Amino acid sequence: MNQEEVRKQVLAELMRIAPELEAGEIVPGKLLREQVDLDSMDWLNFLVALHERFKVEIPEADYAKLATLDQVVTYLSAKAQ
């Protein structure tokens, strides 16, 4: 799966959890939680949704590596191979 496809799917999950979001408003290198205003429960729901969609284990130790859209896409692209 290429990075563009991963990005589309990540954004789809993000918008499912935060329906008020506009995909075009997300700045890829900026902290996602600040842009989307997700509380910790929504953030965990987002990570679980990514785990289920991509069938990729995301250990808690890696959560800090998933702060921006670019980081999430890079992480999932590498793991989903």
Q: Note the pTM of the prediction, 2 decimals.
A: 0.91
Domain limits, the chain: 3-19+28-79
Q: What is the CB-side half-sphere exposure of residue 48 using CA atoms within 13 A? A: 7
pLDDT of 36 over the 90 cut: no
Stretch 37-66: mean pLDDT, rounded? 94
Distance (Å, whole) CA 63 – CA 2? 22
- Model pLDDT for residues 15-34, shown as the tens digit of each residue: 999 888 887 889 999 999 88
Contact 46, 38 (CB under 8 A): yes
CATH number belonging to domain 3-19+28-79? 1.10.1200.10
pLDDT band at 59 (very low <50, low <70, confident <90, very high): very high
